Chain A
Amino acid sequence: MKNLDRRLFLKTAGAGVVMAGTGLLTGLRSPATAANRGGTVVIGVPESFSSLDPFRRIGRLDYNAVINLLDTLVHVGADAVPAPGLAESWDRVDDLTWRFRLREGVSFTDGTPVDAEAVIYGFARIKEGNFGSQFARIDEVVALGEHEIEVRTSESFPTLLVELAQQYASIVSPAAFEAAGDGFGRMPVGSGPFRIERFEPNRELVMVRNEGWWGRDAEGNALPYLDRVIWRVLPDNETAALALGTGDIDFLYTLPPAMAPLMMADPNITVSSGATFGWEYLFFDCTRPPFDNVHARRAVQFAIDRQAIVDAVSFGTSTPATGPITPSSWAYNSANPGAGLIGPGADLERARAEMEAGGLSDGFEVTIIHPTFPELSAMAQALQAQLAEIGIRVVLDGKEIGGVLDHLFSSNFTCLLIDWSGRIDEAMVFNAFFKSDGGNNFGKFADAAIDEIVDAAAAAPTIEDRAALYHEAERMIIEASPHAWISVPSELRAMRANVTGFVNVGDVRLRAWTLAKG
Chain B
Amino acid sequence: MTGKGPVLPAFARSAGRRLFDLAVVMLSVATVVFVLLRVVPGDPVLILGGLDVLDREVIARARESMGLDRPVAEQYAVWLGNMLRGDLGLSLRSGIPVTELVGRALPPTLQLGAMALLIGVAISVPLGVAAARRAGSPADMGITTFAILGISTPPFVIALGLIYLFAVHLRLLPVAGYVAFADDPLGNLRTMAMPALTLGLVTAGVLVRIMRRSVIDELGEDYVRSARAKGVSETRVVYRHAARNAAIPYVTILGIEAGVLLSGAIITETIFAIPGLGRLMIDNINQRDYPVVQGAVLVVALIYVLINAGVDGLYRILDPRVRAGEGQ
- Determine if A402 and B40 form an interchain contact, defined as CB atoms under 8 angstroms apart: yes
Judging by beta carbons under 8 Å apart, are B175 and A57 in contact?
A: no
A236→B46 CA distance, assembly (Å) = 24
B68 to chain A, nearest CB (A): 11
Encode B213-233 as 1/0 by CB contact (under 8 A) with A.
000000000000000000000
Residue from B42, B55, B56, B62 within 8 A of A405 (CB atoms): B42
Distance between B192 CB and nearest chain A CB, rounded to angstroms: 14
From A60, A130, A239, B273 is in contact (CB under 8 Å) with: A239
Q: Which residues of B contact A420 (CB under 8 A)?
A: 51
CB of B209 within 8 A of chain A? no
Shortest distance in angstroms between A423's beta carbon and chain B's nearest beta carbon? Answer: 9
Chain A contacts for B43, CB-based, 8 A: 402, 405-406, 409
Residues of A within 8 A of B46 (CB): 402, 405-406, 409
Q: Is the CB of A440 within 8 A of B168?
A: no
Q: When chains A and B are docked, how far (Å) is the Cα of A245 from the Cα of B47?
A: 32
Asked if A60 meets B49 with Cβ closer than 8 Å, knowing A235-B270, A248-B177, the reply is yes
In the complex, residue of chain B having the shortest beta-carbon distance to the beta carbon of A236? B271
Interface centre among B96, B104, B164, by most chain A C-beta atoms within 10 angstroms, is B96
In Å, the complex CA distance between A164 and B132 comes to 73
Residue ID in chain B nearest A406 by CB atoms: B41
Q: Mark each residue of chain A from 435 to 447: 1 if its CB lies under 8 Å from any CB of chain B, else 0.
A: 0000110100000
Known: A202-B105, A203-B178, A246-B175. A60 touches B54 (CB 8 A): no
Within 8 A of B (CB), among A241-257: 242-243, 245-246, 248
In the bound complex, do residue B62 and residue A56 qualify as a contact, i.e. CB atoms below 8 Å apart?
A: yes
Choose among B61, B175, B178 the residue with the greatest number of A CB atoms under 10 Å from its CB: B175
Looking at the complex, which of A47-55, A71-79, A341-349, A490-498 is the stretch in contact with chain B?
Answer: A47-55
Name the one of A51, A134, A238 contacting B55, with C-beta atoms under 8 angstroms.
Answer: A134
Given A201-B104, A235-B270, A248-B174, check contact A56 B95 (CB 8 Å).
Answer: yes
Q: B251-272: which have CB < 8 Å to A?
A: 270-272
Report the bound CA distance from A401 to B168 in whole Å.
Answer: 34
Would you call A130 and B56 a contact (CB within 8 A)?
A: no
- A51-B95, A202-B280, A242-B175 given as contacts; is B61 within 8 A of A233 (CB)? no
Q: How far is the CA of A201 from the CA of B283 in the complex (A)?
A: 12
The reply on A387 being an interface residue by CB < 8 A is no
B318 on the interface (CB 8 Å rule)? no
A57-B48, A202-B280, A399-B41 known; A409 vs B176 contact (CB < 8 Å): no
| Contact present for A232 and B177 (CB under 8 Å) | yes
Question: A60 contacts B62, CB within 8 Å?
Answer: no
Q: Is A151 close to B, CB under 8 A? A: no
Write the A115-151 contact mask toward B (1 if CB under 8 angstroms, else 0).
0000000000000011111101000000000000000
Contact (Cβ within 8 A) A405 B47: yes
Residues B265-300 near A (CB distance < 8 A): 270-273, 275, 279-280, 283, 286-288
Residues from chain A with Cβ under 8 Å of B176 in the complex = 234, 236, 239-240, 242-243, 248
Q: How far is the CB of A509 from the nearest CB of chain B, in Å?
A: 12
Point out the residue from B57, B270, B273 that lies within 8 Å of A439, measured CB to CB. B57
Q: Is A182 among interface residues, defined by CB-CB distance under 8 A?
A: yes
Kindly report which residue of chain A lies nearest to residue B160, judged by CB atoms.
A238
Q: How far is the CB of B97 from chain A (nearest CB, A)?
A: 9
Nearest residue, chain A, Cβ from B47: A402
- Give the most central of A200, A233, A239, A421: most B CB within 10 Å: A239
Contacts of B168 in A (CB 8 A): 242, 245-246
**Shortest CB distance B310–A (Å):** 27
A356 to chain B, nearest CB (A): 34
Residues of A within 8 A of B71 (CB): none
Q: Least Cβ distance of A454 to chain B in Å?
A: 16
Instruction: Return chain B residues, CB-CB under 8 Å to A185.
Output: 94-96
Q: How far is the CA of A235 from the CA of B156 in the complex (A)?
A: 13
B45 at the interface (CB under 8 A from A): yes
* Residue from the list B42, B61, B174 in contact with A403, Cβ < 8 A: B42
A133 to B273, CA, bound (A): 38
Q: Are A246 and B167 in contact (CB under 8 A)?
A: yes
Determine if B163 is an interface residue (Cβ-Cβ < 8 Å). yes
Q: Is A439 in contact with B55, judged by CB distance below 8 angstroms?
A: yes
- Specify which chain A residues have a CB less than 8 angstroms from the CB of B58 in the assembled complex: 57, 130-131, 133-134, 439
Could you tell me the distance between the alpha carbons of A165 and B175 in the complex, rounded to whole angstroms?
Answer: 38
Contact of A51 among B41, B51, B93, B270 (CB under 8 A): B93
Which 7 pairs between the two chains have the least Cβ-Cβ distance? A402-B42, A439-B55, A133-B57, A202-B275, A50-B93, A57-B62, A403-B41
- Taking Cβ atoms with an 8 Å cutoff, the residues of B that contact A are 40-43, 45-59, 61-62, 65, 90-91, 93-96, 101, 104-105, 160, 163-164, 167-168, 171, 174-178, 270-273, 275, 279-280, 283, 286-288
Which residues of A are in contact with B by a Cβ distance under 8 Å?
47-51, 53, 56-60, 129-134, 136, 182-183, 185-186, 200-203, 232-236, 238-240, 242-243, 245-246, 248, 399-403, 405-406, 408-409, 418-421, 432, 439-440, 442
User: Mind listing 11 A-B residue pairs with CB under 8 Å?
Assistant: A51-B94, A56-B62, A57-B53, A59-B49, A59-B93, A129-B61, A134-B58, A235-B270, A246-B174, A405-B43, A440-B51
